[in-house]
Amino acid sequence: MTSSLLFAGSTTGFAIGTLLVERIVKCLARFDISSGPKAYIPTFLSFSSLPSPGPKNTPVVVYSNSKSRFIALFLSSVLHACFFVIMGTARNFPTLFIAYVVAAFARAFLTASLNAYVSLTPKKTTGIIFGCWSVGSFASPLVCQTIIAKGVPWQNFYLGSLVLSAINTSFIAYSFRPTHNEYLAERKAALESQKPASATPVNQCQLSSATCPAATVPVQSGHTLKRALCMPYQWAFSFMSWMYNGSETTMQGFIVTYLSVTRNANPNTVGYVSSGFWGGMAISRLTWGYITPITTYTQRKYIIHGCIALALCMHLLIWFIHSDIANSLSAAVVGLCYGPIFPSTLDLANGVLPEDVHMVSMAIISSFASFGSSLFPFITGLLSNIFGVQVLTYVTVAQTATMFLVWFLFPSSPPHTRASTTSKA
């Protein structure tokens, strides 16, 4: 019960990041149009709304999405490295709790920025990103367990992870640095926005990828978070992510204990069931990343429906088939079926919700996902203390059945009003 509070720390960090991501990103996006492509320091670090451009010969402050994305990703990656430092030097539980809050706060910005960016790319490789996440989830416990078995203190695992963090930050700095073409496109859009409305319609430039391929610099409303929270589909996608991540975390967190207690599984090998779960998830997510560009919106929707149905069948097999081998195989198949669900939920949200709320929407969905990852395992743990670990199957079957019903309510074809909704906003 005490250790589960660390998941509550993650939820707290995600919630704070979700509330602040819009304000901070807009603050980082403010640049003087004359500052040049190499300037990475925002013009005016303030949480107030963007002022109207001044008269002639005064600095014109505009939004640069490319620079804002670069700064947000770079700073959040550096902040996430602090998590490894705190964990590697921690001496008590409150310090660990703070470390989880810091890591989740940084991930709120990383996931919001990356998911919004990937949704605008032609191949929409969200599945590959989460596939790499699953590969890390598969490999990390094996590495950690190996070094602990050799007598190395567990804190050194986190200090060693600083090397990976440094490599990751370097990749972000190289890959997302604003290009000269992005600067020129954003500068062109900003200059045209200063012309009379009759001369150049700004909305047409902003919405046409052929005219401004890399520029999306409209002055957005300061109430994007409020707008997103007023959309029914935003709550539907958030509920779906809440339920899915709760089911995923509960399954991989309790399946080893479940098989040990109820199926008398071999204690020397049962631990590999969790790795099998994550291995199946990694395979399906990487595969999903490759098939996403070649499938239609409707096809992807029905494929996920089939995955949820198959996962439900596997949960029922774990419930009623009293065989540790069959249950271990079923757990791996559950991971295989679960893999595409979360990235496809994000892709579906990007397809249904207006484009101008994508970043805030991704942060909200990720925050609900973190909340589900902390709440459901905690509830399952409490029920297990009272009724025994066999309650795992009751929880996971109910969760998967709920996901099946919620996914059925989502549209089977992409809406045709998203662009008009964005322009009206």
Confidence of residue 196 (pLDDT cuts 50, 70, 90): low
Q: Residue 86: which of 139, 158, 5 has the closest Cα?
A: 158
Q: Residue 214: which of 120, 352, 347 has the closest Cα?
A: 120
What's the confidence (pLDDT) of residue 253? 84
Question: Which of 91-100, 200-209, 377-386 shows the lowest mean pLDDT across its residues?
Answer: 200-209
Confidence of residue 162 (pLDDT cuts 50, 70, 90): very high
Residue 199 has pLDDT above 90, yes or no: no
Residue 200 has pLDDT above 80, yes or no: no
Domain boundaries, the chain: 5-178+221-424
Question: 131-135, 168-172, 368-372 — which one is most confidently predicted on average?
Answer: 168-172
* Between residues 97 and 198, the one the model is more confident about: 97
Contact in structure between 110 and 363 (CB atoms under 8 Å): no
What's the confidence (pLDDT) of residue 411? 86
Confidence of residue 242 (pLDDT cuts 50, 70, 90): very high
Residue 101 has pLDDT above 60, yes or no: yes
Confidence of residue 420 (pLDDT cuts 50, 70, 90): very low
CATH number for region 5-178+221-424: 1.20.1250.20
Residue 74 has pLDDT above 80, yes or no: yes
* Average per-residue pLDDT for the chain: 81
- pTM exceeds cut of 0.85: no
What's the confidence (pLDDT) of residue 293? 83
Contact in structure between 77 and 106 (CB atoms under 8 Å): yes
